[in-house]
Amino acid sequence: MSEHLYKYLRTETFPTPFCAGCGHGILMGVILRAIDELKLDFKKMVFVSGIGCGAWIPSPHFKTDTLHTLHGRPVAYATGVKKANPELKVVVISGDGDLAAIGGNHLIHAARRNVGLTVICANNSIYGMTGGQLSPTTPKNTKTMTTVMGNPEEAFDLCKLVKACGAKYVARYTVFHTKPLIKAIKTALNTDGFSFIDVVSPCPTQYGRRNQLPTLYDMYAFIKNRLVHFDALKKYKKEELAEKIIIGEYRDED
């Protein structure tokens, strides 16, 4: 991580616990760069996370107030923080299982209420921390510890879901898209109301390994081949989009 970001970090807690090839470290840096570029008052920011590898991005690494909560509940906690003190800038960073499975209800209701939160989903399409079980964003047909024959279920498009619930700003990028991702995070942090960013983050250890994608490079290629930009959606038929990862800002469809 570049040195000018050290002031935001408890460097004594380094190295981070993330595995080789994990995208969560990149995401950590990207979030801090967005904050740095916006010159936000870090002391007045609160980072709320649930339980999982993604939840460890802010806690204990960020050198400000962090609230490491229960599995699935960070959005509910964050709602309380924000409502009790609206002057605080409240950001949720947590995993896909945390935000979309056990915490899915809180996510959609916070979007509907338009609580002034930015929620960043560190989406590795897997339960990383508990050993690689199916998550609601695991792509169809791919393998996990609990779907050894391939996932028979459809995955959530979290952006579409949250957008439909009324979120003011919604975007998805992968950790390989650092520039547009920083821009999106900045937009999210400046949004008056509920904003959501789904960040595709590779997990070679728990997801890749079981899908013949054991290295970061394999995961990169796998992700890259599936990318479609939101603005280019019209060029595709619905069936063609089944396995795609849609990136870009989700705008209101007209």
Partner 1 sequence: MKTIVKSLLAPRKYFMQGNIACAEGALAAGCRYYAGYPITPSSEIMEHMSIRLPEVGGVFMQMEDEIASICSMIGASWAGAKVMTATSGPGFSLMLEGIGYAVMTETPCVIVDVQRAGPATGQATKPAQGDVMQARWGAHGDHRIIALSPWSVQEMYDLTIKAFNFSEKYRVPTILLADEVVAHLKESFVVKPEIEIYNRDKTLTETPFGTQEEDGVPPMPCFGQGAQLLVTGSTHNEYGIRKVADPDVQERLVTRLCKKIDNHKKDICLTERYFTDNAEYLFVAYGISARSSYAVVSELRESQINAGLLRYITIWPFDEETLKECALEAKVIFVPEMNQGQLVLEIMRILPHQKVIPIPKTRGEAIYPSDIIKVFRKYHE
Ligand X SMILES: Cc1ncc(C[n+]2csc(CCOP(=O)(O)OP(=O)(O)O)c2C)c(N)n1
SS3 sequence of 172-220: EEECCCHHHHHHHHHHHHHCCCCEEEEEECCCCCCCHHHHCCCCHHHHH
The piece of 3-11, 75-83, 123-131, 143-151 that touches Mg ion (CB under 5 A) is 123-131
Residue 76's binding partner out of partner 1, Mg ion, ligand X, none, with CB under 5 to 8 Å set by partner kind: partner 1
How many Å is the Cα radius of gyration of the chain? 17
Residue in 27, 30, 34, 78 binding partner 1, rule: CB under 8 A: 78
Q: Does 124 bind Mg ion (CB under 5 A)?
A: yes
Q: Does 95 bind Mg ion (CB under 5 A)?
A: yes
Residue 98's binding partner out of Mg ion, partner 1, ligand X, none, with CB under 5 to 8 Å set by partner kind: ligand X
Residue 66's binding partner out of ligand X, partner 1, Mg ion, none, with CB under 5 to 8 Å set by partner kind: partner 1
Q: Six-digit token pair at 57? A: 């991005």
Alpha-carbon distance of 241 to 179, in angstroms, equals 25
Q: Does 73 bind partner 1 (CB under 8 A)?
A: yes
Alpha-carbon distance of 46 to 136, in angstroms, equals 27
Q: DSSP 3-state assignment of 25? A: helix
- The site for partner 1 (CB under 8 A) is made up of 13, 43-44, 46, 48, 59-60, 63-70, 73, 76-85, 87-88, 105-106, 109
